[in-house]
């Protein structure tokens, strides 16, 4: 859709965009070799300058601090959610005094020093960890940065639960803030003394919420990532709760437990992204179906199944159909209680519905 660009429009430039009739269409960041060559930041004739980026950052901060009051319940939350905050190409999470940053665009990377200094002033943070996505490095030429060895793991609090975040070994920005409200919801649904299985537990988010806040009696967490399991074990120690951690593939573990006839009162299933591209759709949906079929068999009659998908290409309707088909293949039925997603610090922009990536189904299994 880009017909031509002026010779001074170099990669990362803030450019004025014109329509076919020569009228001002808006302003954006330009990079001819990027998969998204033009990231629009304002539509219409009103000028947009470098200072306006700081206005967008302020708007993002004010949502978290003044509207959501997140620091009252946690010191870990998403500060900037890319297109959801009108800042496509930038993701920033706060963990205690550290800003964990994911850069997806050369134009964002070029402006990052000024933007981060501004965010530190607004949030009272002091340090940052910067990750450049593979696509941004390979296609847009964003320089890779060596990990900052000075930023060691930090302890965060979320509704009274303590977690340790490791930036060197953690996935994405280090911790999944998007499940914060769902972890609390789970803790409120768990009855004291109930048994809980957290499949694909990562560093123990749901398992620890169930154990610490929900007072569950028998909690098991399973994950294939050995380092994540080690971190989960340390998190349990920090909270002084007992959880059985299992280093194992979720599919293999669920099959073995099904053969053993083992069942739990509550099963949480939060696997990694199975569908990263449209080419992977059919295979990814099959994996979701297989894992949900196995998980459903591990839920006691009348027990709770909490199942998630973080694949943005999989719609809510598609995911729900897959889960229902999987459970019906076990000759069981679902009583769907609720549908949820990411917390409000992960807003969705109306012009970018793809930002609604996380789907969570809350069901009783009969």
Residue 147 maps to a domain:
no
Q: What is the pLDDT of residue 148?
A: 60
On whether both 185 and 270 belong to a single domain, the answer is: yes
Strands (E) across 134-228 are located at 154-158, 161-165, 195-199, 218-223
Sign of the dihedral defined by the CA atoms of residues 111, 112, 113, 118, in that order: positive
How far from each other are the two terminal CA atoms of the chain, in whole angstroms? 52
The Cα 255–Cα 260 span in angstroms is: 9
At 191, the pLDDT band (50, 70, 90 cuts) reads very high
In this predicted model, what pLDDT tens digit does every residue of 115-128 receive, in sequence order? 999 999 999 999 99
In this predicted model, what pLDDT tens digit does every residue of 6-15 receive, in sequence order? 999 999 999 9
On whether both 87 and 38 belong to a single domain, the answer is: no
CATH number at residue 236: 3.40.50.150
On whether both 213 and 326 belong to a single domain, the answer is: yes
pLDDT greater at residue 171 or residue 27: 27
Q: What is the pLDDT of residue 167?
A: 86
On whether both 75 and 30 belong to a single domain, the answer is: no
- End-of-domain residue from the set 139, 165, 199: 139
Task: Tell which residue, 85, 86, 169, has the closest CA to residue 131.
Answer: 169
The Cα 178–Cα 342 span in angstroms is: 5
At a CB cut-off of 8 Å and minimum separation 6, what does 308 contact? 179, 182, 268, 269, 270, 271, 358, 359, 360, 361
On whether both 263 and 360 belong to a single domain, the answer is: yes
On whether both 25 and 55 belong to a single domain, the answer is: no
Average pLDDT of the residues of the chain: 94
The Cα 338–Cα 320 span in angstroms is: 11
Please give the model's pTM, rounded to 2 decimal places: 0.92
Q: What is the pLDDT of residue 149?
A: 57
Does 146 have pLDDT greater than 80?
A: no
Which residues span the domain enclosing 324? 176-365
% of the chain at pLDDT higher than 90: 88
Q: What is the pLDDT of residue 171?
A: 65
Contact 12, 18 (CB under 8 A): no
Residue 18 CB neighbour total at 10 angstroms: 12
Q: Which two tokens stand for residue 240?
A: 């002084």
Report the pLDDT averaged over residues 186-200. 97
Please classify residue 17 by burial: count the beta carbons closer than 10 Å to its beta carbon, then call 0-12 exposed, 13-18 middle and 19+ buried.
Answer: middle
At 147, the pLDDT band (50, 70, 90 cuts) reads low
Contact 195, 266 (CB under 8 A): yes
On whether both 124 and 246 belong to a single domain, the answer is: no
In this predicted model, what pLDDT tens digit does every residue of 269-325 receive, in sequence order? 999 999 999 999 999 999 999 999 999 999 999 999 999 999 999 999 999 999 999
Contact 242, 236 (CB under 8 A): yes
Residue 322 maps to a domain:
yes
On whether both 310 and 198 belong to a single domain, the answer is: yes
At a CB cut-off of 8 Å and minimum separation 6, what does 365 contact? 296, 299, 300, 301, 302, 303, 304, 305, 327, 332, 333, 334, 335
- Cα distances from 240 to residues 95, 101, 253, 303, in angstroms, run 21, 31, 26, 26
On whether both 299 and 184 belong to a single domain, the answer is: yes
On whether both 115 and 248 belong to a single domain, the answer is: no
The count of domains in the chain is 3
On whether both 280 and 354 belong to a single domain, the answer is: yes
């Amino acid at each position: 859709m880009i017909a031509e660009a002026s010779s001074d429009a170099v990669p990362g430039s803030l450019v004025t965009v014109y329509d076919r009739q020569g009228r001002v269409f808006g302003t954006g960041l330009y990079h001819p070799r990027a998969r998204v060559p033009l990231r629009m930041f304002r539509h219409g004739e009103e000028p947009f300058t470098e200072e306006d980026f700081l206005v967008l950052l302020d708007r993002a901060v004010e949502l978290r601090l003044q509207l959501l009051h997140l620091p009252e319940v946690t010191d870990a939350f998403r500060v900037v959610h890319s297109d959801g905050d009108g800042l496509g190409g930038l993701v920033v999470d706060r963990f205690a005094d550290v800003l964990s940053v994911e850069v997806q665009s050369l134009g964002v990377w070029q402006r990052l020093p000024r933007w981060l200094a501004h965010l530190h002033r607004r949030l009272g943070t002091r340090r940052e960890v910067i990750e450049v996505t593979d696509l941004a490095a390979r296609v847009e030429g964003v320089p890779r940065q060596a990990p900052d060895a000075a930023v060691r793991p930090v302890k965060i609090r979320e509704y009274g639960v303590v977690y340790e975040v490791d930036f060197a070994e953690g996935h994405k920005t280090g911790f999944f803030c998007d499940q914060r409200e769902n972890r609390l919801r789970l803790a409120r649904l768990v009855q004291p003394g109930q048994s809980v299985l957290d499949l694909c537990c990562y560093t123990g988010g749901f398992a620890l919420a169930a154990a610490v806040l929900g007072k569950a009696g028998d909690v098991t967490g399973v994950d294939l990532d050995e380092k994540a399991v080690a971190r989960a074990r340390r998190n349990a120690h920090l909270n002084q709760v007992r959880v059985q951690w299992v280093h194992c593939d979720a599919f293999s573990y669920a099959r073995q437990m099904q053969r053993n006839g083992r069942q739990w009162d509550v099963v949480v299933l939060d696997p990694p992204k199975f569908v990263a591209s449209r080419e992977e759709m059919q295979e990814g949906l099959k994996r979701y179906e297989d894992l949900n079929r196995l998980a459903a068999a591990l839920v006691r009659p009348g027990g709770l199944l909490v199942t998630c998908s973080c694949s943005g290409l999989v719609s809510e309707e598609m995911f729900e159909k897959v889960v229902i088909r999987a459970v019906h293949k076990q000759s069981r039925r679902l009583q769907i209680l609720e549908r949820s997603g990411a917390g409000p610090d992960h807003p969705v922009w109306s012009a970018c519905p793809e930002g609604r990536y996380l789907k969570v189904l809350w069901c009783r299994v009969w």
